[in-house]
Amino acid sequence: MHEISRSLESIKVRDKEFEVYLKDSDIQQRVATIAEEINKEYKSKNPLFIGILNGSFMFASDLMKTVNIPSEIAFIRMSSYKGMSSSGAAKQVLGLQENVFGRHLILIEDIIDTGITMAQVINFFQERGPKSIKVATLLLKPEKLEKNLKLDFVGFEIPEKFVVGYGLDYDGHGRNLKDIYQLKGE
């Protein structure tokens, strides 16, 4: 399977030290494999990919480079309720322009942690009458998952530790990193 490359490379993002956890080449290989599965499964379904911003932008971009079937892509974002910190507060889906009725949707997310965000996104789309909804997430933290979600395409299952890079941020920083880094120590 996908062996996780470890190295001594470490990096500072804001005030914290991170070390390489998933190398760019391993990510690329896995993302291409997922895209090939989608090519087979959605051959004549003209799927509409829905990328969830900001975190999924790199995954969505690399995934689409190997997708070679007729398809479309759109992006949404979730409103954030920072300051209020009532975790699990209802967030809203922003920015959808496309009509999703009768469409085969593939939701693209960077990471699923508790699953609360994804459960809200799925509810939002379910109410709009798509033909099907599947989820592609690059990362999943299975130990943290609280919601009963059907996850169709999962890049890597990872432990509970905080990660950054390849679209994922720490306090808004680190999204540009090619590799994925894990918080050092603890």
Question: Residues interacting with ligand IMP, by CB under 6 A?
Answer: 55, 110-118, 162-164, 168
Beta strands in 89-179 (DSSP E): 93-94, 104-112, 132-140, 153-157, 163-164
CB of 40 to ligand IMP, least distance (A): 27
Give CA–CA dist 69/49, Å, rounded: 12
Nearer to ligand IMP, 31 or 121 (CB): 121
| Residue whose CB is less far from ligand IMP, 124 or 162 | 162
Count of residues in the chain = 186
Task: For the CB of residue 28, give the shortest distance to Mg ion in the complex, in Å.
Answer: 20
Shortest separation between residue 78's beta carbon and Mg ion, angstroms: 8
Closer residue to Mg ion (CB): 51 or 55: 55
The contacts of residue 126 (CB under 8 Å, 6+ apart) are: 133
Catalytic positions:
113
The β-bridge relationship of strands 72-78 and 48-53 is: parallel
Residue pair 107/77 in contact (Cβ under 8 Å)? The answer is no
Residues forming contacts to Mg ion in the complex (CB under 5 A) are 55, 110
User: Which one of ligand IMP, Mg ion, none is in contact with 114 (Cβ closer than 5 to 8 A by kind)?
Assistant: ligand IMP
